[in-house]
Structure 1
Amino acid sequence: MMNDSFMNSEWQSLCDHLDEVSKHLGGSREEVMQFRDQPPPQRYPELLERVRQAAALATRWRGESATHQQDDELIDEAGRESFPASDPPTFSHAHA
């Protein structure tokens, strides 16, 4: 069995890191809290399993984030294509 203070420190670090990743990728705050609410792992293999679970969450969030980015890109492209029709006529003092 590993030193409890080491396991607690590593567990806290993993939870904090997952929280930051969720903010960056738009992950679910609820999922982060559910992950964090688990009892700290007691053995190193348990910690490694939690790291795997955290990585799986981050991978899913990244995939969802990529889908949203593609949607945003399509909207931006549609806006660029309608650019001439959406601009008001240019006003010049020389024609006044």
Structure 2
Amino acid sequence: MKDPFVQSQWQELCEHLKQVAHHVGERAGLESQYADEAEQFCASQPPARYSHLLDRVREATHIAIRWQEQASEQRHVEDLVDEAGEESFPASDPPVFSHSHA
């Protein structure tokens, strides 16, 4: 017999994970990949007991933390590229322009 409370909490967990996938994935440019992962997680067999629900919460938490870390790494790399670009601009001094001829 399925516990209605466990089922409702499972649905909420899936909705939250999908929201995290959208929010974090959008910032990292990996929204599609994260959304697919969230869908796979939610498509798995729903937990029947509360203790199983807690295990699934732990799994979802690990997934979200991994996404967050990947997004942070992605932002760090992008920040380094931006910084290098800013430091190299302009790449050289502009040519000297004068109206006099030698």
Place the TM-score, normalised by the shorter chain, in its bin. Answer: 0.7 to 0.9
Structure 2 residue corresponding to 1:40, chosen from 41, 46, 67: 46
1:39 Cα offset (Å): 2.1
Q: Give a deviation string over 1:8-53, Cα, whole Å, max 9, x none.
A: 1100100000011111221622211111101221110000000000
Count of matched residue pairs:
86
2:60 pairs with 1:54: yes
Q: CA deviation at 1:84?
A: 3.6
Is the partner of 1:28 in helix, strand or coil?
helix
Partner of 1:68: 74
Provide the rounded CA distance (Å) in 1 between the counterparts of 2:7 and 2:50. 11
- Partner SS for 2:44: coil
Question: Considering only aligned residues, what root-mean-square deviation do their CA atoms show, in Å?
Answer: 2.1
SS in 2 for 1:83: coil
Alpha-carbon distance between aligned partners in 2 of 1:83 and 1:21, rounded to the nearest angstrom: 37
Share of identical aligned residues, percent? 48
Unaligned runs of 5+ in 2: 26-32, 95-102
Output the CA distance in 2 between the equivalents of 1:28 and 1:22.
5
Write out the 4+ residue segments of structure 1 that deviate beyond 6 Å after TM superposition: none
Normalised TM-score (structure 1)? 0.78
Letter of the 2:89 counterpart:
F
Partner of 2:7: 8
Following TM superposition, by how much is the alpha carbon of 1:85 offset from its aligned partner in structure 2, in angstroms? 4.3
In structure 2, what is the Cα distance between the partners aligned to 1:13 and 1:33?
13
Tell me the residue number matched to 1:19. Answer: 18
